[in-house]
Amino acid sequence: MVSGSKNQTNSPAMALKTLIPWIPTLVLLHLPVISPSSFTYPAVFNFGDSNSDTGGLAAGVAFPVGAPNGETYFNKPSGRFCDGRLIIDFLMDSMDLPYLNAYLDSIGAPSFRTGCNFATGGATILPANAASLSPFSFGVQVAQFIRFKARVLELLGKDKKLQKILPSEDYFRDGLYSFDVGQNDLDGAFYSKSEDQVAAFIPTILSEFEAGVERLYNEGARSLWIHGMGPLGCLPRIIATFGRDASKLDQFGCVSSHNRAAKLFNSQLHALCAKLGSQFPQVCVTYVDIFAIKLNLIANFSQLGFKESIAACCGYGGPPLNFDNRIACGQTKSLNGSLVTAKPCDNTTEYVNWDGNHYTEAANSYVSSQILTGKFSDPPLTEFTISPSAFRTDFRKHFRFF
């Protein structure tokens, strides 16, 4: 969710580069999951940015993703830009599959038996440049997958015992290929382009995405799960940077220009999904309207049990945003002659936003529960079953705290 296309203080790259430790007192112990019968795959191969990065950037460039990240669920930093779990983690839970290990993380002999995560924080669809936070753009991630698959099949051909930690050949055919990428392209573009110029830039971005998906198709990908972009203009960092003039904000306090661009991107991405489905009839392409789910959460946060829709849980400055571009979540530094710390809130489940750039585990839990209803996907997920430990109507009842 962090752009690397601009090297300046208010950029998303700078926002990530200053994350530092602090340990919260809140520990979330358990969240149940839904298991739709139409959402079951033997393996998942994921591509994206920090919305679904489970350790790629931390491993790939030794990026410091320290505490308080991870403290809510993992009780320690886990390479995720979140207090706990991401949407991809909840989707893996719904299929009774272990969480995805990052392709770039080789420490601890990670298992890739049921998939692999190529997503890295700061990744863009378009090729990275010298100012990019992450060199692992979408095209590079696709190339990594191609090498991964070739190497896996080579190793399995020599030693079948490796199937304990590597996906079998049929998993590449029958697995789910998931995508959540593109936000950093638009995010970064707004630092140097007008809204009209950003809008005109979208086809170029999606052309690169289409080329990458076609390469994956040629490698055997047949089930594509594609997330649209969330409401970019509702991130505290974006509001702090582009929303100082109240006339630029909508009724929810979000930056209108960024949300319009996100909706335009989604419209064209949705059309591309239809095109891919028509071009490759043997491929199942599912588009998921993440924008609608997240905007509904922000618009109706109080009814859903949250207390803050826009303010960052972990930040500095207090209401309305609790975000200061000069100091990131967990960081301690001198501001205006005083030593200050950007601390996490006492109860992360009351907040939609985690650190000004990313969502809390509680918000990710809600978004995932809505994805799994099937109502926000095209084509929709229809028949599904709910396990005894599934989300209840009030998903927040499953939170238990010390």
Of these residues, 50, 78, 132, 178, which one is catalytic? 50
**To which H or E segment does residue 327 belong?**
none
- Please provide the average confidence, as pLDDT, over all residues in the chain: 87
* 270: annotated active-site residue: no
DSSP secondary structure letter of residue 288: E
Mean pLDDT over residues 127-132, rounded?
90
Annotated catalytic residue 358: yes
258 catalytic residue (yes or no)? no
> Residue by residue, what is the 3-state secondary structure of 55-82?
CHHHHHCCCCCCCCCCCCCCCCCCCCCC
Closest by CA position to 16, among listed 89, 86, 88, 66:
66
Tell me the sheet residues that pair with 178: 46, 225
Per residue in 136-184, pLDDT tens? 999 999 999 999 999 999 999 999 999 999 999 999 999 999 999 999 9
Choose the catalytic residue: 358, 365, 368, 377.
358
Q: Which pLDDT score is estimated for 392?
A: 30
Tell me how far apart the alpha carbons of residues 376 and 288 are, in angstroms, rounded to a whole number.
6
Which tops the pLDDT comparison, 400 or 119?
Answer: 119
The pLDDT, as a whole number, for residue 133 is: 87
Distance in angstroms (rounded) separating the CA atoms of residues 136 and 98: 24
Cα 368 from Cα 349, distance rounded (Å): 15
Q: What is the pLDDT of residue 64?
A: 80
Selecting among 258, 355, 365, 377, the annotated active-site residue is 355
